Amino acid sequence: MSEQLTYKHELLLLNLLLTGDTPMVSKVKPKMTKAACQPLVEKGLIKLEKKGAASHLVLEDKAWYWMTERFQSEDFKIEINPRFTTAIPIFQVLLMRLGQYMRTNDVPLVDFLAPSASSSDTPTEGQTSNASLKEKIREAYASITQNSPDFRAKLSQIHQYLGNFSPETINNTLCSMQQTGEVSLSPMEDPQEIGPEDEQAAIDLGGGDKRYFAYIK
């Protein structure tokens, strides 16, 4: 039976997501033994990878979706012991990333902190035109690929970025964009690399011809 994750597990996961590091087990923050990391491995959120004589923690794609669901959960909270100083630099990075996101996307602080703000204020598929959703897909693609040339974005990543829209709505818009030449949808070359989140986000063009990536020129 898989163990429940503790606040230390969640803090470690958040640190890895923010930094992109693949630290040795002996140098993870917060400090944790190889055995203590096992619940994260069992849930498919990280893997232990041998590099030389040391074991390193490597994030799995599932970690992004798992943490997204945690943030969006109504009962989300992270309990931290006041004496647990390792959390301070982690949240410093988080706040810096938040500031960068707000500057890049011109998001006012009130959108995060205003008491009157609610989920109903967030545009959803019922409030967004098809043209607006296309633009949001382009924004998601640019953010995921960082405008790198000839770089594809996983459909699962686009779904994650556009969490306020249903997968069906996103994929229908992507299919429409492919028909007009705005998007190129491509398959996964190596079936062994297809994860459950990829399968869930895939677009089936018929006869089992599934597409897992989007490319926008």
Question: Does some domain include residue 2?
Answer: no
End-to-end CA distance of the chain: 47
- Phi, psi angle pair for 12, to nearest 5°: -60, -45
Residue-wise pLDDT for 74-86, tens only, equals 766 666 666 666 6
pLDDT interval class at 39 (50, 70, 90):
very high
Residue 83, domain CATH: 1.10.10.10
Residue 142, domain CATH: 1.10.10
Q: Domain end: 89, 117, 151, which one? A: 89
Q: Are residues 11 and 74 in the same domain?
A: yes
Residue-wise pLDDT for 155-186, tens only, equals 999 998 888 788 888 988 998 888 888 999 99
Q: CB count, 10 Å around CB of 153?
A: 19
pTM for the whole structure = 0.44
Half-sphere exposure of 47 (CA within 13 A, CB side): 7
